[in-house]
Amino acid sequence: MPKVYVIYENSTWVESLRDAAAELGTPFEEWFLDQGVLDLRSAPPEGVFYNRMIASSDKRGHHLPLNTRARSWLGSSATDAGP
């Protein structure tokens, strides 16, 4: 089973995902972008990525440009898994 990476800016919004992943035994890792967890110079790890950032994140002091760079980083190495 692939690891699920959740990109987020508010821990409260991830609580239900944490619970579900634990219940299902799904490998799960949280990436709080303001904590500098990404090394944009290396390739992203294999897995499934769920972006829980929202457009108004900058109004809470979480900078949207970092989210945009993260999405570009992930998109640059994306492969199409097919239908």
pLDDT tens-digit profile of 25-80? 999 999 887 666 677 788 888 999 888 766 665 566 655 556 667 777 777 765 55
Q: Is the dihedral of CA 54, 58, 59, 61 positive or negative?
A: positive
Given this model, what pLDDT does residue 82 score? 45
Q: Give the other-Cβ count within 10 Å of 26's Cβ.
A: 14
Q: Is 4's pLDDT higher than 90?
A: yes
Given this model, what pLDDT does residue 3 score? 94
Beta strands in 1-83 (DSSP E): 4-8, 28-32, 48-51
pTM of the predicted model as reported, rounded to 2 decimal places: 0.72
Distance CA 56, CA 44 (A): 25
What residue spans of the chain are helical by DSSP H?
15-24, 64-76
